[in-house]
Amino acid sequence: MPLQANLRDISATQVLNLINLAGKTGMLTVFEGIETNERDGTGEKNKQKAGAERCKIAFKSGKLIYASMGDQDADLITVLNKAGKLSDGQAKIIRERARKSNDKALALLLINANYVTQNDIITSIQQHTLDVVYNMLSWEDGPFRFEDNKMPSSERILVPIDLENVIIEASRRIQQGKKLLDEIPDLAVSLKFPQNPKEKFKGIHLSVEEWRVVSFVNPKNSIKQIAKANNMSDMEIRRVVYGLIMAGLVQIVKPATPAPASNRPTSRRAARRKSQVSEGVVNKLIDKIKSL
């Protein structure tokens, strides 16, 4: 029977730590939380039922091997394109010509055709996996399920990653993420260039990811739309946009009329700290995951 709980009760970092210590093999799926009218065990909050999938993360013998966001493509072409190993034009052509090829077969074709190296593929998949996991570790609620011995498709390329360093780095990023939420709480706002943008960009060296965001800067495009066009998570787009703002390369365009409060993440919500969970709840979850 799969382990089911909510990130309100046990943090994502604790879940990864348990999987690491127990050396588990299986799939962790986190869902969007849909509020119900029932109260949880504390009587303070409504229970949540599982909605759409937010992410899937797979483990083998306690090592991280695969991750994908629910609303993002995770095929090899998309991963290499996002990492800057394939241009947009190359990605489009290869996708059209290799529709029936799975990731493993496609990797061999790309290496033999000198598009990429084996190391390019490994490092790109590893970075994509880490990006998904670090984003998930910033979530403070949402139902999740861990299914023992469930694995991703055999057509996927799996790159093992030790969880110890991931957990340490996650702690640092969570603190950084809270700052980003305070600085850019609303992704419905747009961006514009400052006056004399050519002068601002002289001598500036941007990453592939940053240039892609810059290419969509227009008061008509919200930050959320730019993120979707570039297959980026909310935290990834915040990080890139914040860097561009601090460098004076873009400016936030304030909306003429504020968006409904219910649709806009606020700094108060971002600053909210998860209440302490009773030791009994955590111990029960620990015992259950060890017994799977």
Assign residue 190 the CATH number of its domain: 1.10.10
Query: Does any domain span residue 266?
Result: no
> Does 262 fall in a domain?
no
Residues 129, 60 share a domain = yes
Number of independent structural domains in the chain: 2
**What's the pLDDT tens digit per position in 90-108?**
999 999 988 889 999 999 9
Residue 267 falls within a domain, yes or no? no
Looking at residue 275, its pLDDT comes to: 40
Q: What is the pTM of this model?
A: 0.68
- Which pair of tokens denotes residue 99? 């529709």
Residue 208 structural domain: 186-255
User: pLDDT tens-digit profile of 125-162?
Assistant: 999 999 999 989 888 899 999 999 999 989 899 999 99
Whether residue 154 is found in the same domain as residue 195: no
Whether residue 264 is contained in a domain is answered as no
162 and 219 in a single domain? The answer is: no
The torsion angles phi and psi of 87, rounded to 5 degrees, stand at -75, 165
Q: What is the mean pLDDT of the chain?
A: 84
DSSP summary character for residue 278: P
Q: Say if residue 12's pLDDT is above 60.
A: yes
What span, in angstroms and rounded, lies between the C-alpha atoms of 195 and 193? 7
* Residue 120 located in a structural domain: yes
Residues 173 and 213 in one domain: no
Residue 286 pLDDT class (50, 70, 90 cuts): low
Q: Which long-range contacts (CB under 8 A, 24 or more apart) does 259-267 make?
A: 259/186, 259/188, 263/188, 264/185, 264/186, 264/188, 265/181, 265/185, 265/186, 265/187, 266/185, 267/181, 267/182, 267/185
Residue 247 sits in the same domain as residue 150 = no
43-78: per-residue pLDDT in tens? 667 888 999 999 999 999 999 999 999 877 789 999
Q: What is the per-residue pLDDT for 285?
A: 56
Residues 206 and 223 in one domain: yes
